[in-house]
Amino acid sequence: MQLRFAMTAKLQFSAEFSEEAKTAFGNAVSGSGAIFSKGVPKDADSADVGHIEGAPRIEGNYAELTFVSGPYTRVHDALFRFRKQIPAVLGKFRMGLREIEISGYTVTMTGAFPEVFRVPALPFITSSRFQGDQLVLELKVTATDLENRIPDRLVRLIEEKIEAATYGGKGEHWELLFESGPKPRYSEKDPTTEMLEHGWIKHAPARGQWIFGPPAVQLFRAFETIVMREIISPLGFSEMIFPKMVPWEVWMRSGHAKGIYPEVYYICTPKTRDPAYWEDVSDYFKVTGEVWVDEIRKRIDGPIGGMCYAQCPPFWPFVQGETLANDCLPARVFDRSGTSHRYESGGIHGIERVDEFHRIEILWLGTAEQTVDIAEKLHGAYHRVFEDILELEWRSAKVTPWFMAQEGMVGGEASCGCGSRIGTTDYEAYLPYNESWLEFQNVSINGDKYPKGFNVKIQSGADCWSGCSGIGLERWTAAFLAQKGLKPEDWPEMVARLVGEPKNLFKFL
């Protein structure tokens, strides 16, 4: 995509231009090329680099300038670089810069636009039109908007949407890393149906929610014990408790604010906790037996955030703004203190895709090398658990979002060594009953994304990286039971021993 920017800026000064001031200002404009070429690649086309077009138009205490640029020293950067020169040029005439008004800002993008691409309604864009293979955007922005890099963000967002339209939806680059091969199978049945029939679980009233009876929880706890003994303890992770109500500020920093809205369980607070304010709502239920939802909706604030979605973001305020001592790294923690919630797509039936789920989240941070090293150790430990303890039919795959695949960050194609190490490995298990593969956990190396977002530094000055791994207990259970069935005598020895005799406490008549 070729980029062109054009901007007209009206600079207001504290005094009128004298003839000498006009000349000095005009000279500063015509000699400004050098300040704009700083940091620009040597072989860049001069038309691609920001500059001031023509002479300034001066009237009274105003000077109007037209900036144009390609991708380098974009017009707003050029404006701010030029602004820095002004005191030296006009100070001797006792003229100070009062205000900058942006009277026009145009972005022209030239390239191949996919058929399905439509310019979305976006703030700051007052008009958009296609001229052949060009998209012309008019922006209404202030100098403060420019300081906040609004045009860069808009362009980036539109480029992302063009790529999304090109690659279609949520395409992922999927690359097989390991496949276990066949393992003993003792079931061809849907584990959810089986568990229901055996009274291990029951539907809870809310969407995608289950009540887990004692035998199901025995299995959950057996898995937890295996994870503790074989993975978490030997690799030196310490337990923490992360909050489960996540305010917007956390998701703004973690980046989740970019897109989780369709899947969030939102959280609201009462406008007041004065019982008198709520009395009629209470009485309504007492009289009608119905909850007065329409009225409640009017008396709550927010949403102030949502329920735990990805589990690790609410850890980060613990280290936010801190510099970590070299000798406490790599820091290794985990959380298993509560549920995660997602408004999943309809037709949720089994325990493998639920709106409320239980997950052990492992999180670590340190230098890039430390972060990658721990990820590798985790992969090794998981491998042993799935092969030798759970005897699962499983595989692992590197999954890369399409935009990263596009940037050549996959495998050996990476231009620098760093890209190929960042990313997610999914672990999948085979479900004989529907002949599909189920992602039951993952390991991600997130690079500096979270440390940057939460402003975390390392004493040595090295870049701080982090990783995380989510072990979904419903997914482990679904995978295990789908392959091994519900009879402990068919299970691998350690699992059977840890579970013990399934306790079926309730007898329904």
The site for ligand ATP (CB under 6 A) is made up of: 342, 344, 353-354, 357, 359, 439-442, 470, 472, 474-475
Taking the C-alpha atoms of residue 67 and residue 5, their distance in angstroms, rounded to an integer, is 8
Evaluate whether 367 touches 462 at the Cβ level (below 8 Å).
Answer: yes
Rounded to the nearest 5 percent, the helix, strand and coil shares of the chain are 40, 30, 35
Residue 163 contact partner, candidates ligand ATP, Zn ion, none, CB within 5 to 8 A by sort of partner: none
CB of 467 to Zn ion, least distance (A): 8
Taking the C-alpha atoms of residue 301 and residue 298, their distance in angstroms, rounded to an integer, is 8
CB of 304 to ligand ATP, least distance (A): 23
Which of 65, 312, 409, 431 binds Zn ion (CB under 5 A)? It is: 312
Active site residue: 407, 439, 448, 463, which one? 439
464 is known as an active-site residue:
no
Taking the C-alpha atoms of residue 407 and residue 158, their distance in angstroms, rounded to an integer, is 16
Taking the C-alpha atoms of residue 381 and residue 227, their distance in angstroms, rounded to an integer, is 9
344 is known as an active-site residue:
yes
State yes or no: residue 429 binds Zn ion (CB under 5 A): no
Taking the C-alpha atoms of residue 488 and residue 30, their distance in angstroms, rounded to an integer, is 84
Nearer to ligand ATP, 203 or 503 (CB): 203
Residue 231 is given by DSSP the state I
Task: Give me the residue whose beta carbon is nearest to ligand ATP.
Answer: 472
Nearer to ligand ATP, 371 or 442 (CB): 442
Nearer to ligand ATP, 77 or 352 (CB): 352
Q: How many residues at the interface with Zn ion, by CB under 5 A?
A: 2
Give the H/E segment covering residue 383: helix 368-384
468 is known as an active-site residue:
yes
Residue 336 contact partner, candidates Zn ion, ligand ATP, none, CB within 5 to 8 A by sort of partner: none
CB of 439 to ligand ATP, least distance (A): 5
Q: Which of the residues 455 through 474 are near Zn ion (CB under 5 A)?
A: 468
Alpha helix (H) ranges present in 168-274?
191-197, 214-227, 248-254
Residue 468 contact partner, candidates ligand ATP, Zn ion, none, CB within 5 to 8 A by sort of partner: Zn ion
Evaluate whether 505 touches 491 at the Cβ level (below 8 Å).
Answer: no
Residue 353 contact partner, candidates ligand ATP, Zn ion, none, CB within 5 to 8 A by sort of partner: ligand ATP
Evaluate whether 484 touches 222 at the Cβ level (below 8 Å).
Answer: no
426 is known as an active-site residue:
yes
Which among 25-33, 307-315, 344-352, 480-488 is the span making contact with Zn ion, rule CB under 5 A? Answer: 307-315
Nearest to 45 by CA among 1, 109, 2: 2
Active site residue: 312, 336, 359, 464, which one? 312
Angle value at C-alpha 446, between 445 and 448, nearest 5 degrees: 125
Q: Using CB under 5 A as the criterion, which residues of the chain lie in contact with Zn ion when the complex forms?
A: 312, 468
